[in-house]
Amino acid sequence: MDLFRLLGGGAKFDKKRFKDDFQLLDPSSTEPEVEESFAEQPDNEEERQKSLLNEIDFFKNTHTIVGNTKKVKDPKKPKVKKEKKSEAEEDDQQDEEDDEEQEDLFTSQEEVAQFRKQSRIRVYGDDVPNPFRKFADLSTPYYNLRPYIRRNLKESGFEDPTPIQMQSIPIIMKGRDLMSCAPTGSGKTLAYLLPIIHDLNGPEKSGYRALIVAPTRELAQQIFREIKRISAGKKFKICMLTKATAATQAQDPKLRQKYDILISTPLRLVHAIQSDEIELNRVQHLVLDEADKLLELGFLEQMDEIFAACTNTNIQKSLFSATIPSGVETLAKTVMKDPIRIVIGAKNAATETIKQELLFVGSEDGKLVAIRQMVQKGLKPPVLIFVQSIDRAKELFHELVYDGINVDVIHSERTKSQRDNIIDQFRAGRIWVLISTELMARGLDFKGVNLVINYDFPQTVQSYIHRIGRTGRAGRAGEAVTYFTKEDAPYLKSIVNVMRGSGCEVPEWMLTMRKPSQNMRKQLRKAPIERKQINTMSSYDKRKIAHKRDMIETSKRRKTEKETEKKA
């Protein structure tokens, strides 16, 4: 069993235990080859793609598994450039490779049960389809995965499926309704996209056949890019619903027929349904990404309207999240047909590659002291800091920006282009510390984030799991520090339980604490704890510091200019 599978299942990677079977290789010194694979690219997509491929290359080179099960990979071996083959030739070759790899399909239900246990897959429901072990299994006649999808997986550097992919893909391929709960960063997006793209086969120009709903615009955009990646080579028409795309479809109803896949946030979609801008009567696949968020009060009414607009009786529905509370499960069952439930690892748990810490900071002022101490000791960027409100995000930004930290802030009051720009800059490593509200807590895939700081204690356990899940993705290590004050202490035990459940050490005294009552948790969910403003300096002091910093920078610049002049 390989590393990513283990990590995707929520297991811990113990170097000592695997000492004899695994060897971690150094990354190759050569630059990775970057290939363009998207048909339509946003302006900054090239950079994003480049950094993604670098990430994958890094992941592959540092985690190549050698020993008993796989061939040794020599990173220094020069790559031999192959002649370009036709698509048909490549497909034939792929089929041959797949035939060679077919030896381990399951032979009995005991074997299936054993495999699920080993991969930490739990299933609930009737006639649950078997999981598959390797992507190559999907090319057998039983699944008959379209060869171009397999090729795209290879080009994305996806060598082995994660547990959620192993079990979800066959279920969606069978057309069954599904509720999937798997850790953050374990590949849930591909788990639903792959079978949908396979089933849609190719562009049809008959109107939307798949609909993916996500709680934020940023997540919807990320899903859009993932679809492009997995469907590269087929000219699917994919629509990311915005004011502009809705308006063009409103003006030209024929245009609606050209699309195959729709991605949207609930509010935008409901608006389009009510204004007759789109039709959803042909939708065969409906996915709720971050399903528990979408089925919470606030989104629920909109989701009701979306369910009602999807009138196709053969619709297949999937719900995905890293957290699905039982209340949401009960609610979801009312809109699903004989659903199957999957849980990977422990239910509603944090990813086990994240080192979690709870830090008592005494009071609100203590938080700033703590963060400045962390900066002094040396933070390893990129770092993501969560606060509980837009005002607090702005306040903290104004504190840290005068400390000379490369910091920015993101929240829903910033314009769309500012938000897009910040996310790109953060992904590219040009912003080191990013302060955010709950906006960035769910779904966003920043593989490189080293540290998440919960500056304000999260209002729910779910929020905690998703926030810290922005680090430790795709099998990487990550760290999360949660500050708490006297006011937060009564809620601590819920987080302590998550930490313990994901194998983190917790001080003995915390284990003896009482769990907050249901009523207390309800109160906190409704409204955050009131906190003192984040402000240690008067605006006069801040201006003074900023002025001093500008003077130092100007004098440094002048000195360099003079030296350059002298040399010339």
Ligand X SMILES: Nc1ncnc2c1ncn2[C@@H]1O[C@H](COP(=O)(O)OP(=O)(O)OP(=O)(O)O)[C@@H](O)[C@H]1O
Q: Interface residues with ligand X (CB under 6 A)?
A: 4, 158, 160-162, 165, 182, 184-190, 322, 443, 445, 447, 469, 473-474
434: helix, coil or strand?
strand
Least distance from ligand X to the Cβ atom of residue 47, Å: 16
Provide the strand spans (E) within 205-351: 210-213, 238-240, 261-264, 285-289, 316-321, 340-344
Least distance from ligand X to the Cβ atom of residue 146, Å: 17
Closest to ligand X by CB, 59 vs 259, is 59
Closest to ligand X by CB, 131 vs 185, is 185
Residue closest to 455 by CA, chosen among 383, 351, 506, 527: 383
Provide the strand spans (E) within 488-539: none
Closest to ligand X by CB, 133 vs 188, is 188
Asked if 373 and 398 count as a contact pair (C-beta separation under 8 A), the reply is no
Q: What is the C-alpha to C-alpha distance for residues 230 and 214, in angstroms, rounded to an integer?
A: 18
Hey, what amino acid is at 194?
L
Closest to ligand X by CB, 399 vs 445, is 445
Q: What is the C-alpha to C-alpha distance for residues 4 and 352, in angstroms, rounded to an integer?
A: 12
Least distance from ligand X to the Cβ atom of residue 320, Å: 7
Asked if 164 and 182 count as a contact pair (C-beta separation under 8 A), the reply is yes
The one-character DSSP state at 301 is H
Least distance from ligand X to the Cβ atom of residue 73, Å: 16
Closest to ligand X by CB, 162 vs 221, is 162
Provide DSSP, 376-387: HH---S-EEEE-
Closest to ligand X by CB, 187 vs 339, is 187
Closest to ligand X by CB, 184 vs 459, is 184
Least distance from ligand X to the Cβ atom of residue 165, Å: 6
Q: What is the C-alpha to C-alpha distance for residues 116 and 96, in angstroms, rounded to an integer?
A: 28
Q: What is the C-alpha to C-alpha distance for residues 371 and 383, in angstroms, rounded to an integer?
A: 12
Least distance from ligand X to the Cβ atom of residue 495, Å: 18
Q: Which residues pair with 372 in a beta bridge?
A: none
CA atoms within 13 A on the CB side of 185: 30
The token pair at 211 is: 């609909």
Least distance from ligand X to the Cβ atom of residue 470, Å: 7
416: Cβ contacts below 8 Å, ≥ 6 apart: 217
Closest to ligand X by CB, 339 vs 443, is 443
Least distance from ligand X to the Cβ atom of residue 229, Å: 8
Q: What is the 3-state secondary structure (H, E, C) of 275-287?
A: CCCCCCCCCCEEE
Cα end-to-end span (Å), the chain: 61
Closest to ligand X by CB, 160 vs 438, is 160
Least distance from ligand X to the Cβ atom of residue 184, Å: 4
Asked if 184 and 473 count as a contact pair (C-beta separation under 8 A), the reply is yes
